[in-house]
Chain A
Amino acid sequence: MSHEHVSNTKRIWFVFALLSAVTTVEVILGIIKPESLEFNHFLGLNLLNWIFYILTIFKAYYIVWAFMHMEGEKSSLRWSVVSPVIFLVLYLLFILLTEGHYIYGVFKDSTIKWNF
């Protein structure tokens, strides 16, 4: 196998520091909730949530690539694991956003009160 069995300890601690720093930023933002971020929207989502989602993806990338050592695997394994997940999650997101938006409208505009 292609593992050259060298110690990666330095990189592990670096990634740990990175993940901790990102989590700290998330928590601080989650507690303060700056108004300029919370009440400005981009593509229907407020900037604060954009930041949260981007940082989440960022953390996920480092967990998979460094901790699960995806960076050391063959690209065929990388693609066969990552691409189905990404494709299906994007598809789910699409369904969730379109249908959720529709159902929200049904509840909001219907003549029947469902919760009073």
Chain B
Amino acid sequence: MEATVTTANNEEKTWGGGDIQPLGASYGKMMMWFFIVSDALTFSGFLAAYGFSRFKFIETWPLADEVFTHFPFMHGVSAPMYYVALMTFILIFSSVTMVLAVDAGHQLKKTKVAIYMFLTIIGGIIFVGSQAWEWKNFIKGEYGAVETKGGSLLQFVDKEGKRVALEEFAVKLPEQRVALTRAEGKWFMEDAESTPTYSVAEIQAGFKAHPDLLIRTEHLTAKKKKTVLSRAESESRLNDAKYVVEGANLTRNEYGSKLFADFFFFITGFHGFHVFSGIIINIIIFFNVLLGTYEKRRSYEMVEKVGLYWHFVDLVWVFVFTVFYLV
């Protein structure tokens, strides 16, 4: 008889899914797992789209080592990977403090849970802050480039192949476009913000005036370096220049393939949004811990559930780190 009686009408726990636990986990925890499954598939879809587009333009894709070279307080020093490695360590460590909080929760140690939750939140905030800084550098750009009529991106190098920034050689020509201010007219305003520092003519004139400059195209050589053109080729390519590109936006970026910046913004942004929401949820749970909500329940399972989400965010970062920065 016992086996056939349904326990779903157990009124006390109906909201929590009743007492039936087919997978041995509470309703909330099981649903967190299935939410994570669907979110994981969303990220897989994004990463697959990224991989597909990268595969399509495999011979012209930007080199991550040349794009992410900044480290705080080290101006002008090329430090590929270091900062993002640091960010990875911060996120892994915040995962560790999270799992320590869950562990302390199992033993009903309120103070310990609170401390570890707090550290997790701090780690998360540092991570999101780092990501914002990374975005800032990415958007601002470093050297600038020129886009041709056909959509190719041309960058500038000296004889040794070292990158040269636009401001190092561009000349200031008279009678250039002036960005209108709000007081002067409305029709030019939107355009004004995106007007680059130099016009194409200024870049071309500056290039002519510096005979030691060369142009580097997006194409990768067999040694996975960007192709540097000869001086004659460089001059003829530069005649096709149409836009001056500084930094990155969703339309074009100075690093190369347009899709590169689009996917960078989209995927790291989506991940960053997950970290952000994770921090918010962690803060809510942290205050609940402080208020003694889970102490009264004699169960810190909520900490475990947000922990699952937080670890998932870390898990996604492991993949983002690999496909954007390493491969």
Contacts and interface: CB of A to CB of B under 8 A. Distances in A.
Main secondary structure of the interface of B (DSSP, over half): helix
Nearest to A77: B23
Give the size category of B's interface with A.
35 or more
B34 A12 contact: no
B322 A81 contact: no
B106 A3 contact: yes
Interface string A85-106: 1001100110111011101100
Contacts, number: 146
A19 B326 contact: no
A7 interface: yes
Nearest to A23: B88
Interface of A: 1-3, 5, 7-9, 12-13, 16, 19-20, 23-24, 26-27, 29-31, 38-39, 49, 52-53, 55-56, 59-60, 63-64, 66-69, 73-74, 76-77, 80-81, 84-85, 88-89, 92-93, 95-97, 99-101, 103-104, 107, 113-116
Interface of B: 22-25, 30, 33-34, 36-37, 40-41, 44-45, 48, 51-52, 55-58, 60, 65, 80-82, 85, 88-89, 92-93, 95-96, 98-100, 102-103, 106-107, 148-152, 223-224, 240, 304, 307-308, 311-312, 314-315, 318-319, 322, 325-327
Given A56-B318, A92-B48, A115-B60, 8 more contacts: A30-B80, A64-B315, A68-B311, A68-B315, A77-B33, A99-B52, A115-B151, A116-B148
